[in-house]
A = this chain, B = another copy of it.
């Protein structure tokens, strides 16, 4: 009879994933019992002798954890898109495999990106706030009351034009946009992958921007969708805003530090741009109620809910379990990090 594998799971999983895990024979499952994140001391205590650990962004996977688990450890399955919380070297030197779940959130993030564009243009945050404060009865109608720019006829600029950017474009086409400008990590270079055949179809012009200035100057909607790196940190700064159109909006669905928050607040104060929609921001989640961005009626900020759909999170959970089992059995993972 095969020896029982011990696996440590740092969360209660969503039903389908939990069922998949529990159906595996000869598995000794040690699972964090309550709703919130697992305590570090609990994780270290139970890691001893584990063959696999399924963990979250909130669980640090470092030298200490790997050493504590000991020689039995074969796989870390992370329920996450990024793997910043994992010490890759600690795994690599011991031949431990690392699985993650980067691919299933394209739809959810692209959907949210359209929501944020519309909210920035149509003053969604401001509109809700006025109603909630009881101001609606005192808003006399006038032709330009609560108006914003319309999508139809827009030039849309994508800073970073990967799968999520292209999925967003696909959704924007029937709104009647006119033209796309995009930039990649290599300035002036076209993208390698045409994920949905949009570049080939060419129903509207889709052009590589000469540089960020070109994109900032000509776009009515700027969508930040690039990875964070030393060269993209504060790519959208005071100079960028000063080149933008007064009726343009900025949307960030990527990583907070790509946009200089102080510069955004100043640009909104000066009326250099019309509005903004942010799913991410520098120093998140530490945004206190008195943060200056929250005083900007034309800026909408949501708490990093890009991938927050039931379907996506269920798929991420199921894929983490599959990665965990593949690691135990020496099979191919759904998505594995090459260490």
- A: which residues have CB within 8 A of B? 11, 13-14, 35-37, 56-58, 79, 107-108, 111-112, 114-115, 118-119, 121-125, 127-128, 130-134, 136-137, 139-153, 170-171, 173-176, 247, 284-290, 294, 300-303, 305, 308-313, 316-317
Is B302 a contact partner of A141 (Cβ separation < 8 A)? no
Shortest Cβ distance from A133 into B: residue? B289
What is the minimal beta-carbon distance from A67 to any residue of chain B, in angstroms? 26
Is A127 a contact partner of B36 (Cβ separation < 8 A)? no
Contacts A/B (CB < 8 Å), 15 sampled: A13-B143, A14-B144, A36-B142, A37-B142, A56-B141, A79-B143, A107-B151, A111-B151, A128-B301, A132-B294, A139-B285, A143-B313, A146-B303, A149-B311, A173-B174
Q: Which residues of B contact A300 (CB under 8 A)?
A: 128
The complex is assembled from copies of this chain, and their number is 2
Shortest Cβ distance from A13 into B: residue? B143
Shortest Cβ distance from A152 into B: residue? B107
Is A127 a contact partner of B288 (Cβ separation < 8 A)? no
Is A108 a contact partner of B150 (Cβ separation < 8 A)? yes
Q: How far is the CA of A14 from the CA of B300 in the complex (A)?
A: 27
What is the minimal beta-carbon distance from A35 to any residue of chain B, in angstroms? 6
Is A124 a contact partner of B119 (Cβ separation < 8 A)? yes
Shortest Cβ distance from A316 into B: residue? B143
Q: How far is the CA of A171 from the CA of B137 in the complex (A)?
A: 32
Is A149 a contact partner of B36 (Cβ separation < 8 A)? no
Q: Which of B35, B122, B174 makes the CB contact (< 8 A) with A115?
A: B122
**Chain A to chain B: the 7 pairs with minimum beta-carbon distance, closest first:** A134-B289, A115-B118, A150-B309, A127-B302, A136-B285, A150-B311, A147-B308
